[in-house]
Amino acid sequence: MTLKRETIFIISGVLLMAAGPLSPKLIYAQEALPPFTGTKLFSIKLTPNYPKPNTAVTAEILTYRFDEDRANIIWQINGKTVAQGLGVKTITFQSPDTGKTQKITAYVTTIEGNQESQLLNLTIHDVDLLVDALTYVPPGYRGKAWPTLQSSIRISAIPYLFKNGKKLPPETLIYEWSFDTKKNIPASGANKDSFVAQLPDSDDYLVTLKLSDQADEINFEKSIMLTARKTSPEIIFYEDNPLEGPIYAKALSGAIKLSQGAINLRAEPFYFSKENISALTYGWSMNDQPTPTEEKPNVLNLRAPENTTGETVINLTIKNLSRLLQSADATLRVMFGQ
């Protein structure tokens, strides 16, 4: 028996094995690709820059030093080859869970024979941005306060940044807030995890938070769009019972019947700026005649005349003297008698 001679070639980081008449088989061998020792040939760019967990991410080779279309490129994720070939300059893969890290490695052999590998560690960071409209709603109201024109909003950050597999404490991070693409210097800095801004009109406004650790080695960025175009201040009427207080479980609207001859009508100014709630003015009228209130500006005491049947139209206008774009009108018909 004649033994066939086996020949092994290492060419440009690719292991070619030939045994007799068999065709060469392409096998990747990491040890055959030592890092290039000269000037950095390329870098790896991720799209998006700050991937979300378990979403599609594209890695791309960026260079002006060689023709990547004519280079042999091998991609590995966590040591496993996922793509290779001539001009394979991009790959798409799925990002890991929050706090987890993937090692993305690209091995390049240029047409001139230069070799280099670049490693990019992708760690998934995140931050929850909680938005609170600083507008008024009655005590115990279970709904959400909504932003309106010229009202303020507060954005609070709950960060999830990781380094060496450990979550970084929020108080050790640097917070850089931007509103409408402009950095807010007073609101930015160490441990400044919340930001308050006013919505001057009905446009859309972009709030961006850039997070970093003290060494500026870990960076993350997230944005949120805010608008006040969907909500306007409102007036909702309730009965204010002398013994039970405001009956918020039942709003009064349209037409009501004054069955017991008297009622304390309470007006609640929904979605006006909370910080200017004392600047509100209440303009009550009955059948188009101005009507003053007794003690509280938002409570109108009504009493039906005896032995009389009729209807009264109650109108209320509320204005914010400090926020001229905040105002509301409401009307209620009150029927009394038999």
pLDDT tens string 258-301: 867 788 999 999 999 999 898 899 999 999 999 999 889 999 99
Beta carbons of 233 and 271 less than 8 angstroms apart? yes
Residue 324: both structure tokens together: 């001229």
The pLDDT value recorded for residue 303 is: 87
Q: b/e per residue, 293-322, with b = 16+ CB within 10 A?
A: eeeeebbbebebeeeeeeeeebbbebbbee
Q: For the whole model, what pTM was predicted? A: 0.78
Sign of the C-alpha dihedral, residues 73, 75, 79, 80?
Answer: negative
**pLDDT band per the 50, 70, 90 thresholds, residue 186:** very high
The pLDDT value recorded for residue 34 is: 42
**For residue 23, pLDDT beyond 90:** no
**Per-residue pLDDT reduced to its tens digit, 54-79:** 999 999 999 999 999 999 999 999 99
6-123: which CATH number, 2.60.120.1270, 2.60.40.10, 3.40.50.720, 3.40.50.880?
2.60.40.10
**Cα 26 from Cα 323, distance rounded (Å):** 72
**pLDDT band per the 50, 70, 90 thresholds, residue 82:** very high
**Per-residue pLDDT reduced to its tens digit, 219-248:** 999 999 999 888 899 999 999 998 889 999
The pLDDT value recorded for residue 338 is: 62
The pLDDT value recorded for residue 100 is: 96
Beta carbons of 204 and 197 less than 8 angstroms apart? no
Beta carbons of 337 and 318 less than 8 angstroms apart? no
Percent of the chain with pLDDT over 90: 73
* Residue intervals in the chain for CATH 2.60.40.10: 6-123, 126-226, 234-336
**For residue 9, pLDDT beyond 50:** no
**For residue 29, pLDDT beyond 70:** no
Phi, psi for residue 277 in degrees, rounded to 5: -65, -30
Region 27-35: what's the mean pLDDT? Answer: 41
**For residue 27, pLDDT beyond 60:** no
The domain 126-226 having CATH identifier 2.60.40.10: the answer here is yes
Q: Nearest to residue 96, comparing CAs of 184, 165, 4, 150? A: 165
The domain 234-336 having CATH identifier 2.60.40.10: the answer here is yes
**Cα 39 from Cα 118, distance rounded (Å):** 12
